[in-house]
Amino acid sequence: MGADPSPSPLALWERGARGVRVLLLFLLCLPLPAPAQPAEPAPTITIGSKNFAESRLLGELFAQLLEARTDLRVERSFGLAGTQVCFEALKSGAIDLYPEYTGTGLVSILGREPGGGSPGETLVRVRREFLQRWDLHWLAPLGFENAYEIAVPQALAEARGLRTLSDLVPIAGDLTAGFGYEFVERGDGLPGLREVYGLDFARVQTLQQALKYQAAGAGQVDALDVYTTDGRLLTYALRVLEDDRGFFPPYQAVPLVRGETLRQHPEVGAVLALLADALEEATMRQLNYRLQEGQESEATVARDALRALGLIAGGKVLNEEPPAEGFLPYLWQQRSTLGTRTLEHLGLTAVALGCGILLAVPLGLLLERRRTVAEPVIRAVGLLQTVPSLALLAFMVPLLGIGVLPALVALWLYSLFPILRNSYTGVRDADPLAVESAVALGMTPGQILRQIRLPLATPVILAGIRTAGVLTVGTATLAAFIGAGGLGEPIITGLQLGDHRRILAGAIPAALLALGLDALLGAVERALRPRGLKG
C-alpha cells in the first residue's frame, strides 16, 4: 500500500489553532510582573557657607559626609555674603544648614555683648534662644574654635614689646590697621575693642581676608584681625596678641540646622554627629593652609580629611588634577567650569536686561504723554542706582531666598534707570521740525509717536539699553554672593584665597561678555536706525 496522504490545509490550520490556544492558556497562567514604577527623585537638602575658605571647607565636609552615608542629594550654595545672608537664607528655608560659630551667633545674630562666658555656657545660650525664636538647632561642636584675634608683624612686636592687646593701646594712634568688612561693624570686632580697650588706630583699611595678610607682609598695615585656625599664620611672620581682658567670646564651630530639616530627615543630625569633637585647631589650620596657600580645591581637602577620620572610604572629586602652572594652562584646565559659569552669567544678564526693556521702554513712551509726572517717576527709579548692589542683593534674601530669582530681580531693578531715562528723553526730544510737519499734515498723536517720534528716538533708546547691558554684566558678578553662580564665583573664590588666576579667570570672560553684548546691541542699533539718520 502507498503512504498516508499528507494532511490537508484545513487540518494544519486546526492543529495550529489548537497550539496557539494552548500557548495562550499557558501565558495567561503566568504571574504578571508588577508595572514599573517611576523612580522617585532623592530628597534634596541645600548646604550653605559664608564667603571665606574655612566656611566653604566645612560646608564641603558636611556635603561629602551626607552624600556618602545617606540617600540624600546635596546641593551646595557656598560663598554667601556673610553672616546675615547665611542666617536669613537658613530662616527662609533657602538653605537647610551651614557652619556657624557660637560667638558669632551670640553677638552678630542675637545682639548680645561679647565675653563673659565659657564655651559650654555660650553654646547652651545660643542653643536655647535659637530654638525658641527660630526653631534652629546647634548640633554637636566640631571640636575646635576659630576665634578672632589681633596680630601684628613679628618685627613690630619685638621692637615695641607687644605681647597683649593692652600693650597695643598706647601706640595704636601711630599705626595703620587692616580689618575685614564684618570686623569693623560687629560688636565683637572693632567697635567692641574701642569700648573695652580704648583701641583707636590712626587709620583703618577694610580688606578681604587674603589681602590683609599680603598688606601686612608688604608693611602696608601694622595690625590685622586674624582667625586662630587660619592657615596663613603658618606662612606670615605674625605675632598673635593675647586678649588679656577676655573680650572675644568663644567661637566653637557647629553645624546650624533648620528644625524642619531634622524632622523630615533625622539622618542629617545622626550623620553630622560623627564630626563631633573630630577636628582640632591644629588640624584645621593645616587644612586651611592647603586651601589658602596650596591652591587645592575644598572638595579634595574635605575628602582627605574625612578619609583620615575614617568616615568615608572614598569619594568622587570633580577635578583630581593638580592646578596647572601658568595662567593660560590654568584657563584650559578650567575650560568646562568656566564655560558653565559664562552661560550662567549670560543667562542672568539676558533675562534681567530683557525684563528691563519690556518695562522701561513702554513706561518711557507713556511718560512722554504725561510730562508733568515724568521727572518725579524717573528720579524715583533712579534712586535704585544709589543703593549699593551688594546691599540690594542681600535685601532680596529675606524676601526671595537665595539663588537665581533674587539675583534676577535685583539686576532687573538696576537695569531700569538708563533705559527709562533714554527712552523718555529720546521720544520727547525727537526732531521738533519733523513733529511740527506731521501735526500740520493732520497726523494723530498716536501716528506721530509710532511713525515719527519712536523711529527718530531709536538710537537714543538703544544707547540706554547698551549702557544698561554693560552695567548688568558687571553687576551680575556679585550675584555669586547669594548663590546665583555666574562668573562672580571664580572672582570671589579667588579673592578669598588670594589666587590671582581665579580672579582673572572670572574677570576676563566677564569683560569680554560686556564688550560682546555692547557690540551686538550696537549692530541692532545700526540696523534699526532710520534711513535718514544713517548718513
Give the residue among 107, 50, 100 at the shortest CA–CA distance from 79.
50
Does the pLDDT value for residue 115 go beyond 70? no
| pLDDT single digits (tens) 471-489 | 999 999 988 888 888 888 8
Q: Is the pLDDT of residue 320 over 60?
A: no
* pLDDT tier for residue 321 given thresholds of 50, 70 and 90: low
Q: What is the CA radius of gyration of the chain?
A: 32
Residue 36 has pLDDT above 90, yes or no: no
C-alpha cell at 438: 506731521
For 243-266, write each residue's pLDDT tens digit: 988 888 889 999 999 999 999 999
Query: If you average pLDDT over residues 358-379, what whole number do you get?
Result: 88
Average pLDDT rounded to a whole number, residues 304-312: 92
pTM, two decimal places: 0.75
The mean pLDDT of 202-208, rounded to a whole number, is 88
Predicted local distance difference test score (pLDDT) of residue 337: 85
pLDDT at 297 over 80: yes
Mean pLDDT of the chain, nearest integer: 84
Runs of H (alpha helix) within 44-118: 53-69, 82-92, 102-104
Q: What is the pLDDT of residues 59-88, one digit of tens each?
A: 999 999 999 999 999 999 998 888 888 999
Above pLDDT 90, what percent of the chain? 42
Please report how the helices 82-92 and 389-400 are oriented relative to each other, as an axis angle in degrees rounded to 10: 20
Residue 318 confidence (pLDDT): 43
pLDDT at 24 over 50: no
Contact 304, 291 (CB under 8 A): no
pLDDT of residue 296: 84
The share of the chain scoring above pLDDT 70, in percent, equals 85
340-357 pLDDT tens trace: 999 999 999 999 999 999
CA distances from 194 to 147, 170, 201, 205, 206 (A): 18, 13, 9, 16, 16
Instruction: Place 1 in a pLDDT band, splitting at 50, 70 and 90.
Output: very low
**DSSP secondary structure, 381-415, as one string:** HHGGGGS-HHHHHHHHHHHH-SSHHHHHHHHHHHH
> What would the mean pLDDT of 210-220 be, rounded to a whole number?
85
Q: What is the pLDDT of residues 163-177, one digit of tens each?
A: 999 999 999 999 999
Domains and CATH numbers, the chain: 44-145+251-315 (3.40.190.10), 148-241 (3.40.190.120), 333-533 (1.10.3720.10)
Q: Is a pLDDT exceeding 50 seen at residue 400?
A: yes
Residue 510 in this model has a pLDDT that exceeds 50:
yes
The lowest-confidence range among 25-34, 42-51, 282-291, 458-467 is 25-34
Please give the grid coordinates belonging to residue 88.
Answer: 536669613
pLDDT tier for residue 3 given thresholds of 50, 70 and 90:
very low
* Mean pLDDT, residues 483-511 taken together: 85
